[in-house]
Each structure stands twice: as C-alpha cells, then as structure tokens.
Amino acid sequence: MGVVHKATWYLLLLMIFLIPWGEGVYDGLAKFVAMPTLGLSLVMLVLEGTHRNYTLFNLFAVMLGVWYLVGIWWSPTPEYSTKILQTYIMLIMMSLMFTYLINDEYKFRWAYQVYVAGCLMATGIIVYNWLNGIEGPYYERYTVEHIETDNMAILLAFGIPMAVWLYTQANSWIIKLGNVGAIPVIFYGIFLTGTRTGLVCGSIGIAYLAFTQRKASFNLKIIYTGIVIGAAVAVVSLAPKSSVERIFSIFAAVESGDLNYRTVIWQHTMSVWADNPILGGGTGSLGHTLNPYYVNFEWAHNSYIQILGENGLIGLAIYLMMIGSLLYYALKCQVETKFFLLTLWFTIFISQMTLHSQNLKEVWFVWSVIGVHGYYYSKKTARQRQLTARST
C-alpha cells in the first residue's frame, strides 16, 4: 500500500470501529471520521484509478438516491425532504467508499474484526449505563447515548455473525476464542436494550453459529448444546428483570396483533399510499401525510411500508432490487460464504419489518460488505470451477 492508501485504510477501520458506539463520545463522530476518509478515497481514485468491484447494489443505490431527489418535487415538506436527501447522498457515497476500499480477504477480515470490537465496546458502555442507572429514552432500557435503543440492538446483532465467520476463518486459537467469547457478550448487550426485534435478529446469528458446527461429532454437539444452554441461562439471569420481561413479551405483542401500536401506523400509511400508489406522497412526507389520521410519527416502523408510502411503487421496486441484488451475489458463493452473507442479509431484512433502519449508516455498511464480499467470493468460486473443469 502507498502512503495515501494506508492512511485511508486506517481511517476507514477507525470509522467502522466507531459505528456501533462512537455517537456516545460525540454525536456524529463516525460521520466526522467519514469525511476525511471520503476525501482520501477520492485522492486514491486519482492516484491509483478505479477497479471493477462495483456491483448492481451500487447501481440501484444511486438510482434510489435519484428517485429520492425527484420525490422532493411533489413532497409537501420540501425543506425536511432535502435533509432526508442529504442523508441518503451521504449513505450512498459511504457505500461506494466501502465497496472501493474493502475488496479482498485480508480487508474483509479486518473490517469485520474492528466492527466486532466496536460491538464489544458498545456492550461495555451499555453495561456501564445499566450499573449506573443511566437509562435510554425509554424506561428501564439501556443504550449508547445518541443511538436509538431499537437500532442499538440491531447493530449489535450484526456483530454476532461477523464474530462467527471470523471464528471459522481464523488459524490462531487466540483469535478463535476471542470471537467465540464475543458472541455471548454481544447477545447480553442486546438483552440490556430490551428490544424484541433485537432478540430475533440476534438469534439468527446464533443459528448461523450452529450451522457452522453441523459437521462436528455427536459428542461435540452435546458439549456445544450444553455451553449454549448455560450461556443463555447466564445471559437471562444476569440481565435486569425489566429487560428480560420486555424481550420475552414478544409473544404477547404478536398475539395481541398490535405490535406496540405499529399496526395502526402501517394501516394509516397504506391509506396514505393508496392516494398516490405509483409515486407516493414524496420524499420525507410521511409525518405530514399522517397528520389527518392523528398519528404523530414521521417513521412507519417498517422500512418497506415507509418507502411505499413516501416514494410509491417505483421507490419500493428500486429498493427491493437494490437489496435483492445482494442475494444474487451471495447465492453464487460456496456454501460457507453463502450462509454467512445470507445471515447478515436476513438480519437486516427481518429487522426492517418492524424498524425503519433504511437510513442508518450501520445498515449501509453491512449492505455494502455483503455486496462486495459476495461479488469477490462468487468470482473466486467461478474461477475454481473453471480450473476444475479444465483439469478434468
């Protein structure tokens, strides 16, 4: 690496490390670090040229940004819509930067490792806040300052499959043990947030861990099962009673059909969407268009319904093609890589059914690495098949 390349890479790693917890030090710290990283990336582009690792995801991301820009035209809140657009432009630029800089196996490992380290740092802050009675914006729920509690649980959930993948890839037992040990710690952090969607998404990562051990002997599987049960009991026992009760109230919330008022918001958002199904109400318009229904929310608590209500069928189609393109690359990889990327993908996909995380930098980071990781390994798989075919 040249000097500019090294400086850019180290800044990028710092930014990724800050993503899960940096807002607690200074609101917008990760974005602050992103600015010089973006600047140096442009310098790299001039000095070293581009590469061909950009994917369909990047294309659809740019198309989505263009559609948000067009959506300001008919939005009833153009000033607020412009702020939303600025956020998405920043996210798209960051996704292009992630794709440009994280482009080989060495860099994949380091990017995931620093994110896992960031999740451990975030969990440490959450534990500190719990022990000192520093609650988040919701009663008896804990988070990192300036990070919304539900979102905190989801970005922690991303760290679990990353730690599992690092465990399967490492040659050093120190790194293996470190990443395996990170899994229950991060899961404990999810419990402290008291987020029910976080429990579901964290469990997806645990299921991926079980999948990686499918070839283990029967005796080892019994040992692993005992360890998992013991860790689960420890997490539930050590977590505050209020967090445990709220997380396990997921069954009551589903049974009631209310989902903590979310279904009401969804019903009215669909009513708003029916007035302009193709174009939607305009970028950032939901808070305004829901006012006649006496619903005081700017977000639908569902990314897909949110985009449908604001940007119509066209916006949702672009969005689904964007995230669907990630599946295209993931499914072309070998089994181990495929299931890792699918775990990350389903963590986001399921979380967005009850949360509005389509504008979070954490989500765009994960989307970007799914795209470039899947693209890289799908090409590697194709080359191996070609070599096998030639040798036979």
Q: What is the DSSP string of 211-237?
A: HHTTTS-HHHHHHHHHHHHHHHHHHHH
76 and 46 within one domain: no
pLDDT, residue 375, reads: 92
Range of the domain at 160: 55-391
**Apex CA 345: angle with CA 302 and CA 284, to 5°?**
30
- For 99-108, 201-210, 230-239, 299-308, which range has the lowest pLDDT when averaged over its residues? 230-239
**Across residues 82-89, what is the average pLDDT?**
92
Separation of alpha carbons 153 and 123, rounded Å? 10
Number of domains in the chain: 2
Output the six-digit token pair for 67. Answer: 């559609």
301 and 181 within one domain: yes
Separation of alpha carbons 385 and 117, rounded Å? 35
97 and 3 within one domain: no
144 and 30 within one domain: no
pTM of the predicted model as reported, rounded to 2 decimal places: 0.91
252-276 pLDDT, tens per residue?
Answer: 555 555 555 678 888 888 988 999 9
282 and 163 within one domain: yes
Residue-averaged pLDDT of the chain: 87
343 and 290 within one domain: yes
Residue in 102, 202, 192 with CA at minimum distance from that of residue 155: 202
The answer to whether residue 139 scores a pLDDT higher than 70 is no
pLDDT, residue 52, reads: 67
The answer to whether residue 148 scores a pLDDT higher than 60 is yes
384 and 267 within one domain: yes
